[in-house]
Chain A
Amino acid sequence: MSQVALTARRAGRRFLSSLPALLGVLVFTFLLMRVLPGDPAVFFASGPTAGKEEIETIRKQMGLDKPMPEQLGRYLVDVAQGNLGRSLTTGQPVSADLKERLPASLELTFAALFIALLSAVPLGIAAALRPGSVVDHGVRLLCALGVCVPTFVSGLLLIYVFYYLLGYAPDPTGRVDIFTSLPPRATGFLLIDFALAGDFEGWRAAASQLVLPAFTMALFVVAPLARITRAAMLSSLGSDFVRTARSIGLSRWRIIVVYALRNAILPVLTITGIVFSTMLGANVLVEKVFSWPGVASYALDALLASDYAPVQGFVLLMAFIFVLVNLVIDILYGIADPRISVE
């Protein structure tokens, strides 16, 4: 179908047009990291007898002895070849680390987004159906409550209550109970891998491990999602075409779902994209609190250690995902809204 071709072409064009932004991110991060006053070589040469020589060794290893423009040039060439450098914190190539850890972050983010959407959209709709009512105010208060606690506090509290006091939740130490044997890695997403392996015991272990951190993260994004859903629903419920739908005698549910909601989904989709990217980058604290072996906490440690390569790699990855998510949202938008593909 030409619709598909059109969408593909638009997506391709958008992707190409975002490449300069990626390059910008790359260079900017590189420079930002060099501005950091910490010298990674000194930090990692922390052995009890570390001397000048050891520091120099590490510096040479990292290529820090070269002039800055040359370092940048080398870095760009390396990145173009898919080499993101080596992390001093883990001693592994950054790309390997990221590959290992990204599924963890993604799984968490998806789960959180899922929980958030599942609660935000119905809440938003409920509020929009009766604007100004008790329900509306209740939803508003509920959402505002969610965003007003820093994630690290809500995370620690949840752990305290559900793990320490009640013992309902498994120990908050990563993606799966340490005594559960891992499934063969197919996708890196434990829920999927366990399911593929047919290990439902394991699946449950992984899922229960996921609940608290995902919930902590979701709490924070329910508000913007619900807010947008409400606004979009209000505006589509008040629109002319909904009036038309009423005038031809469609049932109330059909009007709400097929006419109002389908149209209201569009702005929600846009926000979901933004929320997803910000969550992925901003769940540093949640990952820290829950010992989640994701990319954000990885970058945080590296940042505090002035370990350049992982931070640069992480930022590049995030930017790339950002572009990708935008692309996906764009395509979805194109599918959901036929008006887009013209213009």
Chain B
Amino acid sequence: QSRAETLRYVTGAVVNTLDPTMPGSTREAFAVSLSTYDRLVSFGRKQLNGKWVFDLDTVRGELAESYDVSPDGLKITFHLRKDAKFQDGTPVTAEDVKWSLDRAVTANSLAKAQLLTGSLTSPDQFKVIDPYTFEVTLPKPDKLALPNLATVYPVIFNSKVAKAHATADDPWAQNWLKENTAGSGAFVIETFKPAEQVILKRNDAWNRGPANSQAAFKRLIVQTVPEASTRANLVERGDADIVIDLQPTDAAALEAKGKLKVISTPQYNAISFISFNNKIPPFDNVNVRKAIAYALPYDDMFKAALFGRGFPLYGATWTDGKAPSGGFPIPQPVKLDLAKAKEYLAAAGMPDGFSTTFSFNVGQANVAEPMAALLKESLAKIGIKVEIQKLPDAQMSTLINEKKLPFFTENIVAWLPSMDYFYRNFYIGNIRWNYSSLDNPQITEIAQAARFEQDKAKYEAMGRELNTLNFEIMPQIPIWQASQDAVMAPSIEGYTYQFHRQVDYRDLSRK
């Protein structure tokens, strides 16, 4: 193949498995799995501010030609494409789908916990009607059941091949699938060097692209290049075709040069926070939290750390102190106001401030470090002495999980970014992602109820209530949604911002 028919994608992250459900698999591994496996359904895409982004609200068929939801919302029936073939040439049947989904909810894998959020928990829910018809039964109508089947985990395996490699210890062939694929995807693995590179070639038989087409590129190279500035050099010199994890400064510079195509999309299913552990004094005091919220130099941080590349979640005005919308996240009515901050601090009984540590992880240093420096400087003005702690990633996640960090910055991502999903997964329970260790019965109750609320207006009202409540309690401070800067050769087309924040290589083509 010629260079033009090859797509070279470079990234700082690594691919560590070919099975996206393997515990510990990386984000880049998800991206590869999108090309090697198909799912029953996938999300559509829409244009937002002139850029293509995924559309949570359109779920379209991938291996399924179509699907029907029963009126009571308890049954989803999938009609499989009859022309879909696995990479070994055998047809994709409902048996394969059943085996794959059984695996997803049974085996010890990432899929299990994810599908749980869509009420998919047991093999009993999956039924083969005929070789090309498949039925899913739900205990309760669940908005997230169908979207869950479009996430990266419920991939459809070639069950015959997989079973052939299953063993008594490993009934779901997890070991084998880690390094091999048995899918029907658009690309076939050519070489896989974990943590180094993956080279894929086109599966010419695949026809799930727009208008039943093949993938545009004949060959696909996914390569790990740890040094961010090298990635910038590579794409600038045209040696790489697309990269999405540049430093904000490089992205800004490349955009300014105008030679390359730079598509910046705020990661609107992700949020960056300044978090407090609401159980550790003095952050158990809402006035302390508010004092800090008014003492952060938001604009400077946004400009210096992010080079303005993102969507700010501060500086809004809520007319009556109530949230204007029920979506999540929405910009908060906070801004730098040291006088107000001092008032809150005084109200908390600590007019002279206190000392604390602020942590971030090494992997995010290029954004978090300037941010932390500005935060430290600004908080010092209201008497809060901050010591900055930079932690290796594993330590940071351990400390967060053990709820030992008082004050830090972190990000979250929701694959299915609905309002209730955010509240349920990031503000409730003793789980890692509940950064603020919030345990508020009111929020818990409304969020749980919202999950199954089918009425759009009621749902919106619930959202508004939650948002208002959240602002009053201020468990943590959302600061922005950083942009995903996709920098690519001018000839590359079709880039879409996806819920998994990776490039779906099937979207891309060369002009």
Check A61–B23 contact: CB distance below 8 A.
yes
Q: How far is the CB of A52 from chain B (nearest CB, A)?
A: 7
Instruction: Point out residues on B near A: beta carbons under 8 Å.
Output: 3, 6, 8, 10, 14, 16-17, 22-25, 108, 110, 113-114, 116-117, 178-179, 193-197, 199, 221, 223-227, 229-230, 233-234, 236-237, 239-240, 362-363, 392-399, 401, 413-415, 425, 431-433
Check B229–A49 contact: CB distance below 8 A.
no
CA distance A97 to B113 in the complex (A): 30
Binds B, one of A139-147, A173-181, A239-247: A173-181
- A283 on the interface (CB 8 Å rule)? no
7 pairs, A vs B, C-beta closer than 8 Å: A39-B398, A47-B25, A47-B114, A48-B413, A48-B433, A54-B113, A57-B23
- A255 on the interface (CB 8 Å rule)? no
Q: How far is the CB of A117 from chain B (nearest CB, A)?
A: 28
CA distance A48 to B225 in the complex (A): 24
CA distance A9 to B17 in the complex (A): 46
Residue total for A at the interface (Cβ-Cβ under 8 A)? 54
Quick one: given A47-B114, A156-B229, A159-B233, are A39 and B401 in contact (CB under 8 Å)?
Answer: yes
Instruction: Point out residues on A near B: beta carbons under 8 Å.
Output: 36-40, 42-55, 57-58, 61, 88-92, 97, 100, 156, 159-160, 163-164, 167, 171-174, 178-179, 288-291, 293, 297-298, 301, 303-307
Check A288–B393 contact: CB distance below 8 A.
no
Chain A residues, Cβ within 8 Å of B199: 178
Q: How far is the CB of B222 from chain A (nearest CB, A)?
A: 10
Quick one: given A38-B398, A50-B432, are A305 and B393 in contact (CB under 8 Å)?
Answer: yes
Q: How far is the CB of B190 from chain A (nearest CB, A)?
A: 11
Quick one: given A55-B401, A304-B393, are A167 and B223 in contact (CB under 8 Å)?
Answer: no
Contact of A42 (CB < 8 Å), options: B17, B392, B394: B394
CA distance A304 to B432 in the complex (A): 19
Task: Please give me the 3 A-B residue pairs with the lowest Cβ-Cβ distance, nearest first.
Answer: A38-B394, A306-B394, A44-B24
Check A164–B237 contact: CB distance below 8 A.
yes
Q: How far is the CB of A206 from chain B (nearest CB, A)?
A: 15
Check A291–B230 contact: CB distance below 8 A.
yes
Chain B residues, Cβ within 8 Å of A298: 195
Chain A residues, Cβ within 8 Å of B393: 38, 43, 304-305
Closest to A92 in B: B194
Contact of A91 (CB < 8 Å), options: B17, B240, B395, B432: B17
Check A297–B178 contact: CB distance below 8 A.
no
Check B23–A90 contact: CB distance below 8 A.
no
Given contacts A55-B401, A89-B16, 4 further A-B contacts (CB under 8 A): A43-B393, A57-B108, A91-B178, A174-B196
Q: How far is the CB of A190 from chain B (nearest CB, A)?
A: 14
CA distance A303 to B393 in the complex (A): 10
Chain A residues, Cβ within 8 Å of B221: 178
Q: How far is the CB of A286 from chain B (nearest CB, A)?
A: 11
Check A89–B195 contact: CB distance below 8 A.
yes
Check B227–A90 contact: CB distance below 8 A.
no
Q: How far is the CB of B207 from chain A (nearest CB, A)?
A: 28
